[in-house]
């Protein structure tokens, strides 16, 4: 009878490192959420402003209506004008208020060159704010 040692195989060693993959996933999701919400929080400043009778909205900006019909005839505030009269009237408007806006309405058949001429007259007069007025397209029918 021999008394020998019974050999035992060593068991599985415990895993001593932390699995960081789920931690990285959670952190990336949080970073994305903060990136998206940070601008929203910064721009939404809520104020309860005091009330005052002196706080009135500013004057409505002044404008002149300049129309060019199919034939190229210019109309200033619905009155037909020649090129010289147009230049004089626009200079007077600019002298009164240099921020006056020119609302340009032109027929679609008017050549581009004529529109540029009218815009040049307005800019020479000192009116640099020019707005183009157009109609909305007809709604699509179902």
pLDDT single digits (tens) 33-47: 988 887 776 554 454
Asked whether the beta carbons of 129 and 99 are under 8 A apart, the reply is yes
Q: How confident is the model at residue 26 (pLDDT cuts 50, 70, 90)?
A: very high
In the three-class reduction of DSSP (H, G, I as helix; E, B as strand; rest coil), residue 99 is classed as coil
**Cross-strand partners of 129:** 101
What local confidence, expressed as pLDDT, does residue 123 receive?
Answer: 92
Domain range 63-132, CATH class: alpha beta
Pairwise CA distance, residues 97 & 93, whole Å: 6
The two three-digit tokens of residue 84, written as one number:
């010289």
The two three-digit tokens of residue 95, written as one number:
């002298």
């Amino acid at each position: 009878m021999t008394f020998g040692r019974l050999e035992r195989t060593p068991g599985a060693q415990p895993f001593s490192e932390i699995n960081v993959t789920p931690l990285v996933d959670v952190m990336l999701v949080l970073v994305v959420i903060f990136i998206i919400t940070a601008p929203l929080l910064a721009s939404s400043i809520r104020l309860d402003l005091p009330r005052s009778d002196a706080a009135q909205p500013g004057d409505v900006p002044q404008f002149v209506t300049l129309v060019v019909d199919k034939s190229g005839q210019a109309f200033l505030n619905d009155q037909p004008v020649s090129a010289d009269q147009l230049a004089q009237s626009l200079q007077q408007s600019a002298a009164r208020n240099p921020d006056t806006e020119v609302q340009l309405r032109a027929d679609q058949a008017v050549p581009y060159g004529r529109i540029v001429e009218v815009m040049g007259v307005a800019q020479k007069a000192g009116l640099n704010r020019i707005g183009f007025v157009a109609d909305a397209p007809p709604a699509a029918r179902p």
